[in-house]
Amino acid sequence: MSNRLPARAVLMSCAILFSAAPALAQSGEVNVYSYRETKLVQPLFDAFTKDTGIKVNVVSASSGLEQRIKSEGANSPADVMLTVDIGRIDEAVAAGISQPIKSEVVNSTVPAQYRDPSDNWTGISMRARVIYASKDRVKQEAITYEELADPKWKGKICIRSGQHIYNNALFAAYLAHHGEAKTEEWLRGLKANLAQKPSGGDRETARDVAAGKCDLGIGNTYYWALMMNKDPDKKLWAEATRVVLPTFAGGGTHVNLSGVLLIKNAPNRANGVKLIEWLLSDTAQKLYADANYEYPVRAGTTVNPTIAGYGTLNADKLPIADIAKNRKAASALVDKVGFDN
């Protein structure tokens, strides 16, 4: 989740943040490059420092962190990258900036489907890609992802760009389940059911459902919670909708990850591993999940009440790494069917 800024503002903020980067690497510290806003994660890092005595330095940006680390090379001060979505994680690994974490704590805490088989990354929390359904016009309680292409929903679905990383991950998961031919057919059916050209973000899909432009909107679980609890101007959009946890036929609800990577040239590698392991503690899992309205990856950690109110999450068993493998093919299919046209 991120608040989009104009490109010039993002570049200026990154320049200010990164100008201080060489000074970050100090003993007794750990340096985090984060795609999460500092204000969202600072309470978490403050708790880590209180528990361990290790100071956390944070550089936040909405884009470009993997490219920055790659350009810094062996002199990069980055120890850990905190990121959202398997798309961002996959791009960081492809840039060659990670190293294996190698931690028994990680391996024993995080289910294998939420870890990289080569140990380059691990998930620390989950979000689900779900449906914001009109309370007034949609009475159906259970919906499958496959069903979104059913002509009964013609002109009734709103969604952001098919090339956005959130939808790319969902489409890649569909591809992993059903293969290329059936995914292409499904994307054509989904496109035929759209009420309007894909646009805006997940919040705007809720807005358009509330306005009667569509009956179903596709969005991430945390956006609905943020609108309901943290954004009075958008609370009416949430109140006009309810969250449906869709599933794949014979499977579960598609989930994605917020994750961490240990950076290849980490000057404080041991402290970086300590931070990653600490992020998987019950205390940290609850803090992180509550701050971002996400699902903990650690079994037994209490789920935020708003998120729990959606119903029991039956997460799809598809390994997140398999979603990463299908991202490029899913993107090509989106273009092939003219999904965003």
Determine if the pTM surpasses 0.85.
yes
Question: Rounded mean pLDDT of 191-214?
Answer: 98
Cα separation, 332 vs 334, in Å, equals 5
Q: Which two tokens stand for residue 93?
A: 């690994």
What are the residues facing 258 on neighbouring strands? 84, 125
* Nearest by Cα to 264 from 123, 93, 124: 93
Q: Please check the confidence at residue 169 and state whether its pLDDT lies above 90.
A: yes
DSSP code at position 182: H
> What tens digit of pLDDT does each residue of 68-126 get?
999 999 999 999 999 999 999 999 999 999 999 999 999 999 999 999 999 999 999 99
Tell me the pLDDT band of 67, cut-offs 50, 70 and 90.
very high
First-residue to last-residue Cα distance in the chain:
25
Please report the pLDDT score of residue 16 as a whole number. Answer: 38
Binding site membership: which residues? 222-223
Please report the pLDDT score of residue 103 as a whole number. Answer: 97
Sign, CA torsion 291/292/294/296:
negative
| Architecture category of domain 128-253+318-336 in CATH | 3-Layer(aba) Sandwich (3.40)
Binding site membership for Fe cation: which residues? 222-223
Q: Please check the confidence at residue 9 and state whether its pLDDT lies above 80.
A: no
Largest CA distance in the chain: 61
8 A C-beta contact, residue 77 and residue 21:
yes
Q: Please check the confidence at residue 242 and state whether its pLDDT lies above 70.
A: yes
Tell me the pLDDT band of 208, cut-offs 50, 70 and 90.
very high
> Three-state DSSP class for 186?
helix
8 A C-beta contact, residue 117 and residue 281:
no
| 7-126+256-308 and 128-253+318-336 share one fold | yes
Cα 194 to chain centroid distance, Å, stands at: 24
C-alpha count within 13 angstroms, C-beta hemisphere, residue 115: 21
Please report the pLDDT score of residue 22 as a whole number. Answer: 40
What DSSP letter does each residue of 47-60 carry, written as one string? HHHHHH--EEEEEE
What are the residues facing 259 on neighbouring strands? 83, 123
What are the residues facing 97 on neighbouring strands? none
Other beta carbons within 10 Å of 99: 16
Please report the pLDDT score of residue 40 as a whole number. Answer: 84
Tell me the pLDDT band of 166, cut-offs 50, 70 and 90.
very high
* Nearest by Cα to 21 from 49, 64, 58: 58
Fold of 7-126+256-308: D-Maltodextrin-Binding Protein; domain 2 (3.40.190)
Q: Please check the confidence at residue 202 and state whether its pLDDT lies above 50.
A: yes
> What tens digit of pLDDT does each residue of 257-292 get?
999 999 999 999 999 999 999 999 999 999 999 999
What DSSP letter does each residue of 23-42 carry, written as one string? G---TTEEEEEESS-HHHHH
Token pair 């404080």: residue: 268
Please report the pLDDT score of residue 38 as a whole number. Answer: 85
8 A C-beta contact, residue 77 and residue 27:
no
Q: Which residues have C-beta within 8 Å of that of residue 180, sequence separation ≥ 6?
A: 329, 333
Please report the pLDDT score of residue 194 as a whole number. Answer: 98
* Residue spans per domain, the chain: 7-126+256-308, 128-253+318-336
**Angle, helix 327-336 to helix 85-94, in steps of 10 degrees:** 120
Q: Which two tokens stand for residue 269?
A: 């590698």
